[in-house]
Structures are given as structure tokens and as C-alpha cells.
A and B are shown apart, each in its own frame.
Chain A
Amino acid sequence: MSDVIKVEGLVKRYKELIALDHLDLKVKQGEIYGLLGPNGSGKTTAINCILSLLEYDKGTVTVFGKEMTPRSYDIKKDIGIVPQDLALYDSLTVYENIDFFCGLYIKDPVKRKQYVQEAIDFVAIGDFVKFKPKKLSGGLKRRLNIACGIAHKPKLIFFDEPMVAVDPQSRNKILEGIVELRNSGATVVYTSHYMEEVEQICDYVVILDKGNKIAEGTIDDLKNMIKKSEIITIEAAGVDEDTLESIREMKNIFSVNYENDLLIVEAGNGKHNVIDIINILQDKGYMMKKIFSEQPTLNDVFLELTGKNLRDE
């Protein structure tokens, strides 16, 4: 697959602050590319530099194989953006907003009408086309924001934190829609600090922190980067310190915590971690009520790589 976006050595400074520090990115055609990082990590700055909205100090940006400049109208016609802040006109209706933004790209009125209707159907806001945005709920506004960004059927779409303040129902609907866009051939760049969303839809993920790329790969690649591969939780009453010590001495065990009858064990790669722990507890005669094992999340990856939570400021 060819590179739709290629960023090399991108540096952006705000006086003393380095917002992007020699960032390299390669986005391949037809993938959902996740930019993950806490607030202020440089996700939006990276997008604005790629879109040639923001001046940068160093580096090159090519989109569809051509250098991206503010006047690259031939490139821009295939780009759509769903910005973090709602980019909607309060005085125009839902339909008019979509038609206005679609009209920036599509001049043929018949074709535009069809595209606008398809965008309305895509985000399922057909019942609200005559409403002004301020009459819509937060989730509907977000869906309208998306419709305005994708109505002209772009080949490359940037979603910059599109789920802020969106209810779970709308969130799932939107995420399904983004996957559908990818399936129909579009390339998607998706930024978020919600790791669940990124895990759910992204094919490839880059984790940013303080303008630096600290890790990249598929979700599985990232999870494999860390030692911890499994979190085992067992509910058992009255486990004594000797038993806990026996578990700690097991191979591949990183940490053992016991509190309120809950035993939480963080383990590395091992085929029989759960069975081995259960055997120890059974040998000591403990009754176990609930047993479950979780795979590490991207938050665990981020935590291990940076020592802090993804949603930290």
C-alpha cells in the first residue's frame, strides 16, 4: 500500500516549548491511523501541520505523494476534516451546514444534493435536517460535525478527537461509521486520548507524548512491547502472606496485590499463569468465587512506556 501521508523530521516550536520534536509519520492508504496521546501531546498540532494550517520550523510533509502547501488545492479537494471544536454555523440549519461545507468542494448542485443526502443518512440525522445546531444534543452536533467533514467524499479524513462529550450510543454509531468509511476506501487519521476507541477501530497506532513518538505499531505490536501481558483477578477470602509470597515467587509474575478479598496479579508472557495460581490457592484450601484474566490495554502500554496515565494533562 502506498503512503497517503509522509511526515519526516517535523519540528514545531512555540517559543521555548517544543510541540513536535522531529516527528516521523507514514499513513498508508485505506487504514485507520490512530494518533494517541494525552492532552497537549501534539496530536492536533501534528494534524494542523500536515494540513498546512500551522507554520512549522523544520521537516517535510507530503500528502498523496505531493508536498502539502496552503495552496495545494488539488490535494485539499480529497481531504476532509472533523475538527475537535464543533465547526458549525449556528444560524444555518443542519441541511444548510452540510450543503455549505460540501459546496466548498462540489460545485455541481445535483451531485451536491445527492452527497449531502448521503452524509445525512450516514450519520443518521435525517430527522433533524431543519433544526439549527443549538437545538441538537451534544451527540447529534458531533454527528453533524462529522457529516460536514465527510459529505464531499474525501479520500483522506482527519478526525480530531471527535468523541469529546458524546454519549455512548452515539459514540458506537460514530465509530461504526468511521470503520465503514475505511471499508469504502477512505484513509482515516484518528486522534484521541480515549484508548478504548483507538483499540476498537485503529489499524495502526502511534503514541505521542510531549511531541515525541514513543511507540508505534498495530495494537498487538504495542501490547507485545510491554512485559506485562496479563492481569489475573481472583476473589478469595483470607489469603495469607505465605500464599501471596508463593505466588510472587512464580515465574513471569511482576506484581501481587491483595485487598478486600481481591487478589490482583500482573503477569508476563506465560502459558499457564492462571492455572498455576489457581493450583497454589487450591493446595492451601482457599475457596475461589470469581476468576478472570484481562489482556493489557493501551493505557497499560502507555503507563509502562511513560510512567503516567493516558488521560493525564
Chain B
Amino acid sequence: MFKYYLKKTLRNRGFLFWSLIFPLALMTFMKIAFGGLYDMQNSIDPMKAVIVDNGSGAFSENFISLMDQLSDKSGDNYYFDLTTYEDLDEAKASLEEKENEVLFEITDEDTINIYLMPGHSVTSSCVSKAVCDSYMRNYQFLMDAFTMDPEGARKILDNMADGISYTKEKENAFSSDPDSYSWYYYSTLVMGIFLSATSGVEIVSDLRADVSSEAMRLSVSSSNKSRMMINSFLARFIPSIVIVLIQLTVMHYAIGVSMGNEIGKLILFVISCIMFSLGFGVICGLLFKGSANTRGNKTTAVVMISVFLSGEMTSQLPGVFEKYFPIINDINPATLMNMAFYRFTVCGDDLGFYMNIGKITGLSVLFLLIGIFALRREKYASL
């Protein structure tokens, strides 16, 4: 049974077109049309930074050493024009007067405080935070390394500087001016994933005798309905995963869009979003009336509206909603998926990512439970 369900899915031209071909074509088009623009936008100017060192010992020395790395005009990671102040108030005043963009205060408790100039850019806050977070995470490890092998520790510092580069985009996912380039790709990926909702509708037409005559024939058979359900779901779920992995591969290697560097999160994102999309499709298939095709078309329309509201066409739209109608972002499935991806790949916002994934997974479970309850029905009021 699974074999034939799988064949049905793979021979479904509509599914392959909307889930695979259309998003890839759109991505290719965007790469050709806007690729050069991205390269220009993606190079950031070094920001004026100031350090006030109130600490002592290895913690402050190593941090200053790291900052020197990041201020090396001849290096690959030239992010800061660095100066040192003795007095914190004087340094803060330089921020007020906009002589400097960011202030790093190393305290005597081995912590680092970050101050930003009024009206600072999101980029400066994002990069500054990334530097400190990275340093704090690796500090203890560095301490050991400097004791054992100072040269090796230098290499770690170099790597740390490299690791910061991927976080150089905006911090706030709902920014009124998000990174449009990445945003469009992520939206397109999410659109492809979300369009697998039409497969969810097919699960309904596979199994509901009041939707298709094929399902009626299945209902009369001696095969267990739970078994049919599992087979039908897996025959949609597995190809959807493969399709998304193809898209991610193309995005990363052919187009050069950042995927973050945490494969676990990426897999979690893909699995939860596909489950959500299939569950959403099942709910649409149950709620909409008409033939299986009509239900599928209506679902496609809902998905496209959702994708549009998530900023596929206008990347500023979620920012506008966040300001005036935040509930739209909270309930729009495409925005939830988009934000999860953006937060994890661009912002390094783990909490935001997990919150979005939590919402998506929760809704997936809810949808699938409702779907199982409705699809296991074997007797109907009318056919």
C-alpha cells in the first residue's frame, strides 16, 4: 500500500510543481535578479567601538586580544575601528555624541557590558552581542588553551572571529527593514514547505469515503484504516522532506544563502514545518466542501494568502503587522515558519526559534490529532 501511495505522490505533477519546481524556479530567478544587490548589501562597514577595561587578568586580556583580531584592517574579519578609554563616563559621552557606535565595558567581575549609541543600527547591536556571546561561551576553554598551548589559543581566537561573521545581520526578526535577500529565500522555502498542505488534502481524499469513491472502496475493504492512515501520511511526509532538503541544498550551495551552522535545528525546523503543513492540509481538506480538487485548490489559495502575509512579496509586511496588528503574525502559519527559520539562521535567536517551533509543533499535533479522529471515521451520515 505504501509503495503505491508513494508512487501516487511522486507522480502528482501538481505537488512536484508547487513544492519543488516553483520554489526552485523562484529562487533561481531571485538569484539572477538580485544576487549582485545582495553582495553590495552584505558587506558591512566597520563600526567605531570603544573598550573600557575595568577588569584584570586573562579575561580582559583575551577579550582585548579578540577585539584586536576583529579590528585588523588587513584581516578577513574587520568589524571594528577600536579605541580604548580609561573612563567609562567619558566613553558613554562619546556614544551620546555619536563619536562611537558601541562601548564594551570589561568589569572586574569578568563580565562585559555593551552600550550602544542612540539610534544605533540593528547590525551594530547584533554584531556586538554576537562577539560577547561567543567570547563568554568560549572563555573557559580559552583559559585552558592559553595555559597549555598559547599558539593553539590564537587559532581558536581566529576561528571565533570567523564564527561571528554569519551573525552579522539584523537582530530583530520583525524589523521594519529586514534582510530582504535572505528573507525572500526563506519565504520561498517556507512557501514550498507550506504548499505540501495540498498533500494533506490528498490524505483526506485517500481516506474519507464521503470525499472520493476510491476512499469508499478502501472503506469497504478488509484493510485496517489506521494502517491506511499511516501509509498515506508517510507517503506524503517522506517525499516532502526530500524535496525540502533538495531546496536547502540548492539554497546553500548554489545560491549561497546562509543556513546557520546548526544542522540539528535545521532538521527540527524541516520536520516540524512539514508536519504542520500536512496537518494544516488535513484540516483544510476536512473543512472545505466539494470535490477533492476543489478542496485542494481552496487550500492552495489559503496557503498563498498566508505566504503573502508573511512577506513573500513585501518583506516589510510582517514588521508592519508587528507594529499595528501583531496577532496576524502570531496566527499566520507562514509567518511562524518564516520567523523560526530567520531567527535561527540570521539572528541566532535561540529562544525565539524554539518558541516558534513550539507553536508550530503544538499546532501540528493538534491538527494531526483532529485529523486522525476525523479520518478514522468509518460510517457517514451521507455519501
Whose C-beta in chain A lies nearest to the C-beta of B4?
Answer: A100
**B37 on the interface (CB 8 Å rule)?**
no
- Apart from A53-B380, A54-B383, list 15 A-B contacts with CB within 8 A: A53-B219, A53-B383, A54-B379, A77-B222, A79-B220, A81-B216, A85-B213, A87-B212, A87-B214, A87-B216, A89-B4, A96-B7, A100-B4, A101-B221, A148-B217
Interface residues of B (CB under 8 A from A): 1, 4, 7-8, 11-12, 209, 212-214, 216-224, 378-383
Q: Assess the A55–B381 pair: CB atoms within 8 A.
A: yes
A53-B219, A148-B217 known; A71+B8 contact, CB < 8 A: no
Chain B residues with CB under 8 Å of A73's CB are: 222, 224
- Interface, chain A (partner B; CB < 8 A): 14, 48, 51-55, 70-71, 73-74, 76-77, 79, 81, 83-89, 91-92, 96, 99-101, 103-105, 148-149
12 contacts between A and B (CB under 8 A): A53-B216, A70-B379, A76-B222, A87-B217, A89-B4, A89-B214, A92-B4, A96-B4, A100-B4, A101-B221, A103-B4, A105-B222
- Complex-state Cα separation, A86 to B162, whole angstroms: 62
Q: In the complex, A74→B214 CA distance in Å?
A: 21
Rounded to whole Å, the gap between the CB of B224 and the closest CB of chain A is: 7
Contact B216 A83 (CB under 8 A): yes
B222 touches A48 (CB 8 A): no
Among candidates B1, B221, B224, B380, residue contacting A55 with C-beta atoms closer than 8 Å: B380
Which chain B residues border A89 with CB–CB below 8 Å?
A: 4, 8, 214
Give how many A-B residue pairs fall within 8 Å (CB-CB): 78
Nearest residue in B to A45 (C-beta to C-beta)?
B383
CB of B203 to closest CB in A, whole Å: 14
In contact, B4 and A53 (Cβ under 8 angstroms): no
**SS class, residues of chain B in contact with chain A:** loop
CB distance from B368 to the nearest CB of A (A): 22
* CB-based contact B380/A104 at 8 Å: no
User: Given contacts A83-B217, A86-B213, A100-B4, are A105 and B382 in contact (CB under 8 A)?
Assistant: no
Q: How far in angstroms is the closest Cβ of chain A from B197? A: 19
Known contacts A85-B213, A92-B4, A104-B223; is A48 also within 8 Å of B383 by CB?
A: yes
> A104 vs B5: C-alpha distance in the bound complex, in angstroms?
13
Asked whether, in the complex, the Cβ of B380 is within 8 Å of the Cβ of A87, the reply is no
- Shortest C-beta distance, B76 to chain A (Å), equals 52
Q: In the bound complex, what is the Cα–Cα distance between A148 and B214 (angstroms)? A: 10
Kindly list chain B residues whose C-beta atoms are within 8 Å of the C-beta of A103.
Answer: 1, 4
Complex interface: chain A residues within 8 A of B12 (CB): 91
Q: How far is the CA of A54 from the CA of B219 in the complex (A)?
A: 11
Q: Once bound together, how far apart are the Cα atoms of A101 and B380, in whole Å?
A: 22
Say yes or no: A70-B4 contact (C-beta < 8 A), given A79-B220, A86-B213: no
Contacts of A54 in B (CB 8 A): 379-383
Are the CB atoms of A81 and B11 closer together than 8 Å? no
Q: Which residues of B contact A76 (CB under 8 A)?
A: 220-222
Q: Bound state CA distance, A48 and B220, in angstroms?
A: 9
With A81-B220, A91-B12 as contacts: A104 and B1 at CB distance below 8 Å: yes
Docked-complex contact A51 and B220, CB < 8 angstroms: yes
**When chains A and B are docked, how far (Å) is the Cα of A54 from the Cα of B8?**
28
Would A88 and B214 count as touching, CB distance under 8 A? yes
Instruction: Specify which of A51, A86, A105, A148 is in contact with B223 (CB 8 Å cutoff).
Output: A105
Residue of A nearest to B10 (CB): A91
B327 to chain A, nearest CB (A): 39
Contact B8 A91 (CB under 8 A): yes
Contact B7 A104 (CB under 8 A): no
* Cβ contacts under 8 Å, B216 to chain A: 53, 81, 83, 87
CB distance from A279 to the nearest CB of B (A): 58
Cα A79 to Cα B379 with chains together (Å): 17
Contact A53 B217 (CB under 8 A): no
- Bound state CA distance, A53 and B380, in angstroms? 6
Whether B213 contacts A91 by the Cβ 8 Å rule is: no
Residues on A with beta carbons closer than 8 Å to the beta carbon of B224:
73
B8 touching A92 by the CB < 8 A rule?
Answer: yes
- Nearest-Cβ distance from residue A101 to partner chain B, whole angstroms: 6
Most buried by B among A52, A54, A105: A54
**What chain A residues lie within 8 Å of B381 (beta carbons)?**
54-55
Q: How far is the CA of A149 from the CA of B218 in the complex (A)?
A: 10
